[in-house]
Structure 1
Amino acid sequence: MSETIVDEYSSPISVERLWRAGICDFKNLMPKLLPQVLTSIEFLGGDGGVGTIQQYKFIKANEQFGDVKDRIEVIDHKNHIFKYSVIEGGLVGLKLKSFVAEITLNSSREGGCLAKMKIEYESLEDSLLSEEEITRIKDGNLAIMKATEGYLLANPDAYA
C-alpha cells in the first residue's frame, strides 16, 4: 500500500538563508544543532550533489532503527527543491518498502519562506503508517526546521 504525507511550515527566514543552512550545509549544521539526536552525518559516496549517499549516525537513545542511509535524488538550487530517498534504516525494511521525501522552499510575501514537505512511502504489509507514526515523522521534520530557524535568528550573519 502507498500513501503520501504532506506538511508545510512558514518561517521568517529568507529562502536563500534557509536553503544554504538547512539543505546545503545540513551535513555539518544538524549534528551541532541537534546533538541530542545526531552524532554525525557522513557522505559515503558523492559530494553532496545528486546521487550522494549520506549516513546519519544517531545517539544511543535513537538507535531503535539503527543508522539511516539516504540518497540525494534532486538538489535544485535555483528552484529550491530537495528530494531524497531512504535506502536503509529508519522504517525502511521494518515497515516500509520505500520512503521518498521532497522539500520545497518558496518565498513568502513577508520576506520569509514557506517550506513544503511531501513524503511518499510504500508499506511492506497491507497497512499504512499509523497516525502516531505520521505525527512523529512530521514532528521530527518540524524540529529540524525550528532548530535551523532558531540558529539563523540568533546568528543573523550566518549563511547570509
Structure 2
Amino acid sequence: MVAGSIKEELAIAVPAEMLWKAAFATGDESSLRNLFAGLSNAEVKIDGDGEPGSIYSLKFNPGVGAGTVFIKGRLAARDNEAQVISFNEVTIEGGEMAAAQLKSQVVRCKVEPTVEGGCVAKVTIDYESLNGRPLSPVDEAKLMKGYVGLMKKMEENMVAYSSVLA
C-alpha cells in the first residue's frame, strides 16, 4: 500500500537523448561512475547484467554534516524507446532523510525533450511508510532533494564533458 507519492520535474541542460544514453540506457558501472565524478568517494556497483532484476548500489559522502549515504535499488524496468526507468526495493541509509521512516520506495524517472534542446526529467517516488501515513512535507522534500541532487550532479558533469559524450 502506497502511503505517499512525490513528483518533481527537473529542467536539465542537455538533450534528452544524451542524458538517457549516458545515465539510463545501459547498466554500465564505468559510465555511472563518470556521471557521479566529483561526489566525495562515489562508488557505483551493479550486481547483475544491468538489466531488470539487477541491483544498483551507490555509496557516497555528500559533504558537510550529512555523512555517508548508501542508495540501493533493484532495476524494475527500462524502456529505452519511451525513456522511462524505474527501480523498486529502493533503500537509503544515511543522509538527511530518516530512512527508518520508510518501509519501501519505488523510484521512476521519465526523460522528455524540450523545444529549447534540453530535457525535463520527471522523477516520481512512491513510498510506503512504516506507520502507513504520508511523510511530512519537510521529510518528503528531504527525500526528493537527494534524488534531485544526483540528477543535478549528472547534469553538471554532462555539461562539462558534453563534447566527449555527444
Task: In structure 1, list runs of 5 or more residues that go unmatched.
Answer: none
Does residue 1:4 correspond to 2:9, yes or no?
A: no
Aligned to 1:13: 14
Aligned positions, number: 155
2:114 to 108, 115, 118: 108
For the residue of structure 1 that corresponds to 2:154, the secondary structure is: helix
1:41 counterpart = 2:47? no
Question: Alignment identity in percent?
Answer: 27
Deviation at 1:15, TM superposition (A): 0.6
Contact 2:11 2:121 in 1 (8 A): yes
Deviations 1:79-114 (A, max 9, x none): 110100234443797212210010000111112111
- Distance of aligned partners of 1:110 and 1:82 in 2 relative to their CA distance in 1, 3 Å threshold: same
Deviates more, 1:150-159 or 1:111-120: 150-159
Counterpart CA distance in 1 for 2:67 and 2:44 is: 14
Are the aligned partners of 1:86 and 1:92 in contact in 2 as well (CA < 8 Å)?
A: no
1:130 lines up with 2:132 in the alignment: no
How many angstroms apart in 2 are the aligned matches of 1:103 and 1:97?
20
TM-score in terms of structure 1 length:
0.82
Aligned to 1:56: 58
2:74 aligns with 71
Over 3 Å counting, the alpha-carbon distance change for 1:68 and 1:156 in structure 2 is: closer
The change in CA–CA distance for 1:95 and 1:106 in structure 2 (over 3 A counts) is same
| Residues 27-71 of structure 1 deviation map (CA, whole Å, 9 limit, x = unaligned) | 322442322xx5311122x121111112222339534xx633210
Question: What is the CA–CA distance in structure 2 between the aligned matches of 1:22 and 1:80, rounded to whole Å?
Answer: 11
Return the letter of the residue paired with 1:34: L
SS at match of 1:140: helix
Residue from 33, 48, 57 that aligns with 1:28: 33
- The RMSD of aligned alpha carbons is 2.4
